[in-house]
Amino acid sequence: MKIQIFLLMLILACTSGCAQNKADESVNPFYQTLTQEEKEVIIYKGTERPYTGKYDKFYEAGIYVCKRCGAELYKSTDKFNSGCGWPSFDDEIQGAVHRTKDGFRTEITCNTCGAHLGHVFLNEGFTDKNTRHCVNSISLEFIPARVSQGADMDTAYFAGGCFWGVEYYLEQATGVLSVESGYMGGRKENPTYREVSSHQSGHAEVVQVVYNPSKIDYKELAKIFFEIHDPTQVNRQGPDVGNQYRSEIYYRSVEQKEIAEELVSLLELKGFKVATRINPATTFWKAEDYHQDYYMRNGGTPYCHKRVDRFS
């Protein structure tokens, strides 16, 4: 009888553990799609090998955000070289990091989404603050304080439904130098259109916009983006349905992020229930040649995009 009870308790424990893992890995539409390697650390609380992370010996000016939800976690001014093999910070952005006792150590997680970051250690004497946040690079994304390709060129990334229509309207804006259709925000390298449209990669259909900031600034460009698609629709745009058609802005700098957030706030004050995600830019994968300048080459006009004044 004791053996039967023990086996029953063991089964219940395993079932509970599996259920917990399933809950931890549940998909939030506003989270970035993670690779399996990223899941091992961010969801299942693993640790990347020391001295292998891309931010271990990285000291550019900017902020570090959560890889999964994009929440701001650390400032570059608080980063220091501890020699431990992982990025080290002696302070976090106020309210950004949650601490949980983990045996003899203290685990740190993103206070917004619960993503595992690493551990915090005290009284080691590395800096005057006597604190070391030991963080996995794979849990972070770095956003430069400012990104510029030159005085007459900058880049923006937008996802707003079928990239044919977004490309069509943004190409017409004065100051835009080029627009290319492609994919971003997924877990697979160099995805194909078939993989994206069949939801095998997690990418969104995205346009890469190269523009002249002296003729059109980022704010005006982002306004056009919000006016040529419906930012209240979730994982669709008109008759096109699927998470590859989600509304999303991928920012390249803190400045772009703040402008995007400002415009969302303006729309919300006007009563729009904005579904647009705002996340750091990752690798842009250019789409197949037959997707480029689709309407210019084939004639016609977009069937699910049109310009609507939303800011007046």
Reduced to 3 states, what is the DSSP secondary structure of residue 101? strand
Which of 104, 106, 108 is CA-nearest to residue 118?
A: 108
Annotation marks residue 110 as catalytic: no
Catalytic residue among 66, 110, 134, 304: 134
Helices 163-170 & 218-228, crossing angle to 10 degrees?
130
Assess whether 134 carries a catalytic annotation: yes
Kindly report the backbone phi and psi dihedral angles of residue 199, in degrees, each rounded to the nearest multiple of 5, phi listed first: 65, 30
CA distances from 222 to 67, 83, 299 (A): 23, 41, 26
Catalytic residue among 18, 84, 113, 162: 162
Residues 6+ apart with CB under 8 A from 122: 130, 131, 132
The tally of CA atoms less than 13 A away on the side-chain side of residue 183 is 24
Taking CA atoms, 53 is separated from 57, 72, 92, 166, 266, in Å, by: 9, 19, 19, 35, 38
Q: C-alpha distances in angstroms, 169 versus 27, 174, 206, 240, 241? A: 32, 11, 13, 18, 20
Buried b (16+ CB within 10 A) or exposed e, 117-143: bbbbbeeeebeeeebbbbbbbbbbbbb
Query: For residue 208, with 0-12 CB atoms within 10 Å meaning exposed, 13-18 middle and 19 or more buried, which class applies?
Result: buried
Q: What sign does the CA torsion over 43, 45, 46, 49 have?
A: positive
CA distance linking residue 81 with residue 111, whole number of Å: 24
Active site residues: 134, 162
